[in-house]
């Protein structure tokens, strides 16, 4: 039986989880439809999800569908949990993008559509809620064409639109596709049978229906089975897209296999697989192995992290690369040790919360996408760990980008370097994260020393010249050297005469910051693209507010205003807009890019020893090293 790993994605409240429930019901996995409002859906298993009526964690459910095994992954729709979506996209064969027939293409819809297109994931579009008052058809197709993709193939027509009796009939409209596909146009002109419609990264079949009434679901199922590709072999062995904790606190890795076989008792690095459960027939079953196309939970992998690949590493899974979090806050609790341990476990499940500890102020910071995520963290810490926490005011998380190139070097046994290590680094602007390369012979030092330098480079770049992360930087190691292992006559190894990895870890921040100083950095702030839907006669009142908030209007029209605004001002615009628009203004925004800060750049207070203050840094590092040696 073919296997299809399918993601369900949507803007919040478009009906994504309800559609998942309807597909499970149609496949015979459940006997009764669950309700999001009642908190009885199959995939929203967390008490917090049921209470709030939103999806927070991705969930997997497997079922047979007309001869195909579908592993369906329900993802969060709220933008605060976009990181959860990012981790899922790398393991999909295809996707269903759900759009509300009433609300239409919303901010998160566009973010998801752009990412699906960039990753070349074949995507079906399901227009939900045709039974709701205000549902649209032709006008909505034009909106999807303009804001998602022009290469649409409507697969349905709707009768009694906007009523409880709305119904769907199969009808393929190739005329829209002909404008973008020469082969289809030629076939229609020559009155030949056009090529079969297939979902791929350039063509999106559009189905209409209602997850609540079931209208159009049969047609969508046919599209899922016939149009989306089944899983194939030949890619990376397996990819970890989720980490969870079992009842006893054990780590559980969610793994999709691409190629090869993972078996119980196989070793992955220092770990041994102790158990495998495969998703099948609406639940999971213990199995001895995980085979290509399957998704399962794996126990025993204590060191594996989200994004790791296992098995045959022929090619990595797709990298979604949504925008990183743009907010930060300090988490406060009386039991600080318990707080850090609990947050460390949450960081395993969501690495993008980026734990940052300030030992001097005895505070822990987390990165966020929004205020709802903060509320979820607070509730999770209370319910799962018994911790009552509060937060400092949320602040905007800036970044630093290099203004040019720089280099620095310090040599072993040459003043003022007190460490038994030679480290030379060159930095230049990057565009794809932090990269680390060698311009020295790999055999010139023990591998552990190179590893220590690279790891420290990545850790140090979490705080640039002004304390903000430096997410894009190309670093090259230009000089290396060490003191070989030595000992006194008839004595054991003497650490004071021989280089250790600690020497490289301690020296690297000084060299890297000297190179950054030479290159210079520019502080950038997150910018959101926004659409303010307002009555046309209120636009003159809205424009001055946008100017005061530093927003840039890019287009105005009958719908309102499109533009760009600093992320820090989004909440204020949302708060002020109703008062200027008779309560009719609606704001949608999503991260778009970073831009250099105008005026004096903000500074974030540093945590840990500061390599920009050499004297203080050496005093603290040498004091820490002395205390650890004496202990």
Q: Is the model more confident about 177 or about 312?
A: 177
d(CA 33, CA 18): 9
The DSSP result for 520-561, as a single string, is -EEEEEEEEEEEEE--GGGHHHHHHHHHHTT-EEEEEETTEE
For residue 416, is the peptide bond before it cis, meaning its omega torsion is within 30 degrees of 0?
A: yes
Task: Pick from 47-51, 116-120, 627-631 the range whose average pLDDT is largest.
Answer: 116-120
Buried b (16+ CB within 10 A) or exposed e, 442-455: eeebeeebbebbbe
State mean pLDDT over 368-387: 89
- Which contiguous run of DSSP H or E holds residue 222? helix 217-227
Q: Is 37 exposed, middle or buried (0-12, 13-18, 19+ CB in 10 A)?
A: exposed
d(CA 334, CA 387): 9
Residue whose entry in the numeric block shows the structure tokens 């049978």 = 193
What CATH number labels 238-310? 2.40.30.10
Residue 249's CB: how many other CB atoms inside 10 A? 7
State mean pLDDT over 420-428: 97
Does the 2-227 domain belong in CATH 3.40.50.300? yes
> Which class is 400-519+607-630 in CATH?
alpha beta
Q: Place 68 in a pLDDT band, splitting at 50, 70 and 90.
A: confident
State mean pLDDT over 607-620: 92
Three-class DSSP category at 70: strand
Q: Place 236 in a pLDDT band, splitting at 50, 70 and 90.
A: very low
The pLDDT, as a whole number, for residue 523 is 97
Q: Per-residue pLDDT for 45 more than 80? A: no
**Pairing relation of β-strands 204-208 and 123-128?**
parallel
Are 453 and 504 spatial neighbours (Cβ–Cβ below 8 Å)? yes
Q: Place 174 in a pLDDT band, splitting at 50, 70 and 90.
A: confident
What CATH number labels 522-596? 3.30.70.240
Phi/psi at 413 (5° precision): 65, 25
Q: Place 494 in a pLDDT band, splitting at 50, 70 and 90.
A: low
Q: Distance between terminal CA atoms of the chain?
A: 61
Q: Is the model more confident about 476 or about 61?
A: 476
The pLDDT, as a whole number, for residue 39 is 65
- Which contiguous run of DSSP H or E holds residue 18? helix 16-26
Three-class DSSP category at 48: helix
**Pairing relation of β-strands 2-10 and 94-100?**
parallel
Q: 156: which strand partners? A: 170
Mean pLDDT of the chain: 87
- One of 3.40.1390.10, 3.30.300.30, 3.30.70.870, 3.20.10.10 is the CATH number of 327-397, namely 3.30.70.870
Phi/psi at 387 (5° precision): -110, 125
In angstroms, what CA-CA distances link 34 with 21, 45, 131? 7, 12, 18
What pLDDT, in 10s, does the model give residues 306-356? 888 876 544 445 555 677 788 899 999 888 888 988 998 888 888 888 888
Domain boundaries in the chain? Answer: 2-227, 238-310, 327-397, 400-519+607-630, 522-596
Per CATH, 327-397 and 522-596 having the same topology is answered yes
- Share of residues in the chain with pLDDT > 90 (%): 48
Single out the residue of 189, 129, 121, 113 nearest to residue 162, CA to CA: 129
State mean pLDDT over 383-405: 93
- Which contiguous run of DSSP H or E holds residue 95? strand 94-100
The pLDDT, as a whole number, for residue 597 is 94
d(CA 551, CA 151): 32
């Amino acid at each position: 039986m073919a296997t299809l790993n399918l993601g369900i994605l949507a803007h919040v409240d478009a009906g994504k989880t309800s559609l998942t429930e309807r597909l499970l019901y149609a496949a015979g996995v459940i006997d009764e439809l669950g309700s999001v409002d009642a908190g009885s859906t199959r995939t929203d298993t967390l008490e917090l999800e049921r209470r709030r009526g939103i999806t927070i964690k991705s969930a997997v459910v497997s079922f047979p569908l007309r001869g195909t095994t579908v592993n369906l992954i329900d993802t969060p729709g709220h933008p605060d949990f976009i990181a959860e979506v990012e981790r899922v996209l790398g393991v999909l064969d295809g996707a269903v993008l759900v759009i509300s027939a009433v609300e239409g293409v919303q901010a998160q819809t566009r973010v998801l559509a752009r990412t699906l297109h960039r990753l070349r994931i074949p995507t079906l579009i399901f227009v939900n809620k045709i039974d709701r008052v205000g549902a649209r058809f032709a006008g909505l197709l034009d909106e999807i064409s303009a804001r998602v993709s022009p290469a649409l193939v409507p697969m349905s027509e709707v009768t009694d639109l906007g009523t409880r009796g709305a119904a769907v009939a199969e009808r393929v409209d190739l005329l829209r596709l002909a404008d973008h596909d020469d082969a289809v146009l030629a076939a229609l002109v020559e009155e030949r049978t056009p090529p079969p419609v297939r979902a791929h990264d350039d063509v999106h079949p559009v189905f209409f229906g209602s997850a609540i009434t079931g209208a159009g679901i049969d047609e969508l199922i046919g599209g899922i089975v016939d149009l989306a590709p089944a899983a194939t072999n030949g890619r990376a062995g397996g990819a970890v897209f989720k980490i969870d904790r079992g009842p006893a606190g054990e780590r559980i890795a969610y793994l999709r296999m691409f190629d090869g076989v993972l078996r119980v008792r196989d070793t992955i690095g220092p770990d041994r697989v102790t158990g495998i459960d495969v998703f099948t027939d609406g639940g999971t079953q213990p199995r001895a192995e995980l085979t290509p196309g399957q998704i399962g939970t794996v126990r025993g992998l204590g060191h594996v992290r989200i994004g790791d690949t296992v098995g045959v590493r022929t090619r990595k899974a797709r990298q979604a690369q949504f925008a990183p979090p743009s907010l930060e806050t300090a988490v406060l609790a009386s039991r600080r040790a318990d707080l850090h341990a609990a947050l460390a476990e949450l960081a395993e499940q969501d690495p993008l919360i980026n734990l940052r500890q300030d030992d001097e102020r005895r505070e822990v910071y987390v990165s966020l996408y929004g205020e709802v995520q903060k509320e979820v963290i607070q509730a999770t810490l209370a319910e799962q760990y018994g911790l009552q926490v509060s937060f400092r005011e949320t602040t905007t998380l800036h970044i630093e980008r290099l203004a040019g190139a720089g280099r620095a070097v310090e040599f072993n046994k040459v003043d003022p370097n007190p460490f038994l290590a030679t480290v030379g680094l060159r930095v230049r602007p990057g565009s794809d994260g932090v990269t680390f390369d060698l311009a020295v012979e790999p055999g010139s030092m023990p591998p552990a020393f190179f590893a220590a330098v690279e790891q420290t480079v990545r850790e140090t770049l979490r705080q640039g010249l002004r304390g903000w992360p430096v997410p894009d930087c190309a670093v090259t190691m230009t000089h290396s050297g060490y003191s070989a292992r030595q000992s006194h006559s008839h004595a054991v190894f003497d650490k004071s005469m021989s280089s250790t990895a600690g020497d490289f870890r301690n020296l690297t921040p000084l060299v890297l910051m000297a190179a950054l100083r030479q290159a210079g950095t520019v502080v950038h702030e997150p910018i959101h693209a926004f659409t303010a839907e307002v009555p046309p006669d209120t636009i003159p009142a809205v424009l001055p507010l946008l100017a005061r908030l530093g927003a840039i209007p890019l287009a105005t029209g009958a719908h309102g205003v499109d533009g760009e605004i600093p992320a820090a001002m989004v909440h204020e615009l949302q708060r002020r807009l109703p008062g200027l628009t008779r309560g009719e203004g609606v704001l949608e925004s999503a991260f778009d890019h970073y831009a250099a800060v105008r005026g004096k750049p903000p500074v974030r207070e540093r945590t840990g020893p500061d390599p920009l203050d050499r004297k203080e840094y050496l005093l603290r590092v040498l004091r820490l090293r002395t205390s650890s040696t004496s202990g």
